[in-house]
Amino acid sequence: MNHGKGHHSPSPTVLLRISDGSCQIHRAFSDFSQAICAAEVYAGAGFVVAMISATGRFLMRLQPRWQSIAV
């Protein structure tokens, strides 16, 4: 085996736990800034988002933010 060398996907560093109150999904990111952007988008769409490190440590929670649309 070729441990530590070769091509493999990077380990996720941040897990998003996304919930609408009745359903929950998870998304994993290896890039922290991408995880932040995705969390803000989900919160903007009305979801509660918890950010958790790959080691299981709670990082932050984003509350739903409803965005109004001008007509």
Q: Which helix (H) or strand (E) holds 64?
A: none
Q: Residue 33: what pLDDT?
A: 93
In a domain, 59, yes or no: no
Q: With bands split at pLDDT 50, 70 and 90, how would you rate the model's confidence at 2?
A: very low
For 20-59, write each residue's pLDDT tens digit. 999 999 999 999 999 999 999 999 999 999 999 989 999 9
Would you say residue 67 lies in a domain? Answer: no
CA dist 56 → 13, 22, 45, 51, 67 (Å): 10, 22, 25, 10, 30
* Structural domains of the chain, count: 1
Average pLDDT, the chain: 85
26, part of any domain? yes
Residue ranges making up the domain that contains 35 = 14-54
Q: Are 17 and 49 in contact (CB under 8 A)?
A: yes
Question: How many other CB atoms are there within 10 angstroms of residue 47's CB atom?
Answer: 22
**11-31: pLDDT as tens digits:** 778 999 999 999 999 999 999
pTM of the shown model? 0.74
